Structures are given as C-alpha cells and as structure tokens.
Amino acid sequence: MKQRGVTIWFTGFSGAGKTTITQALAKELVARAVNFEILDGDIVRQNLTKGLGFSKEDRDENIRRIGFVSHLLTRNGVIVLVSAISPYRAIREEVRQKIGDFVEVFVNAPLAVCEGRDVKGLYQRARAGEIKGFTGIDDPYEPPENPEVECRTDLEELSESVAKVLNKLEQLGYLS
C-alpha cells in the first residue's frame, strides 16, 4: 500500500522547540518505517534559499520555496516535516492551499521562555540592536488561528508534544 504524503508544518518563535519536536517525531517515523524528509528552516537557508535576507518579501519567498519542495515531496507520498519560524499567517495559508495535505503545528512558548532557551544568543543580539527585523523583538509573529495541533512546550513534556502530532496524523489517516 502506497504511503499517503503530508506536510507537517511546525511554526513558532525561535527557541520554541520546533526542531526538537521534529527530531523526536522523526525517530518515531523511523520506527514505523515510513518515508519522510525534514526541511529545517536553518538548513534550508544555508542551501536552498541562500542569499535571501530577512525582509518580509524575502521571508515570504523563503517560505514559498520551502512550500514548493514540500509540495513535490508530499504529492509523491513522503511525509515532510517542516521546521520554520514562518512568522506570517498569510504566506503559511498560501502554502497550505498549494500543498493540500497540510497539518499546521503551532509550537507555542511565551517569548520570555524562548529567550531563556536562546542557545545561539540571537535574542540577546536582537535586543542589543545587532540583528534587525528579528521575529518577536522588532518584527511580528502572527500565530496560527486554527492549527491542527498546538504544542505548549513550556507546559508539556516533549513526549506529549510528539504524541499530539502522531495522534493527529493517525486521526487524519496519514499514519496507521
């Protein structure tokens, strides 16, 4: 039986836990022997979207390109795990419409919690004025209005967040 493809789009502040949940979910998918691919925002920026800046237009283009690759993989039966801040609601909705099989996961943690987890020192640099247009500091983040899954990483264990995503994928028929 052919696997049904889907894009699972993890969105949230830097430091919210998108990559952590994605990596833990990937281990579960390996155990289930399903075909999947990870498109991490940081890695995509180093390769596929190198040269794009952080203006609204460049951020939208970055998300469109990730969405394009996700669409190709999804339509070919791959489960795609996208981990990208993707701060603007309209572009996430545009990508959702193009892909079709799309599950939005809002990785929700308060800004103060994300700043406390800031292993790269990005928030500190943004607060010092060294980084301009940083999401949550001097650029907005528009949270999803109706995500299929919300993971409150400040209130729940990693295993709970992963279970929420797996349960939703099973409920929607993407996993058995």
Annotation says 86 is catalytic = yes
Strands (E), the chain: 6-11, 36-40, 79-83, 102-108, 149-152
- The helix (H) or strand (E) run that includes residue 91 is helix 89-99
Report which of 37, 28, 27, 36 is spatially closest to residue 3, judged by C-alpha positions. 36
Selected catalytic residue, list 86, 159, 161, 176: 86
Residue 86 identity (one-letter amino acid): S
Question: What are phi and psi for residue 7, nearest 5 degrees?
Answer: -100, 125
Enzyme catalytic residues:
86
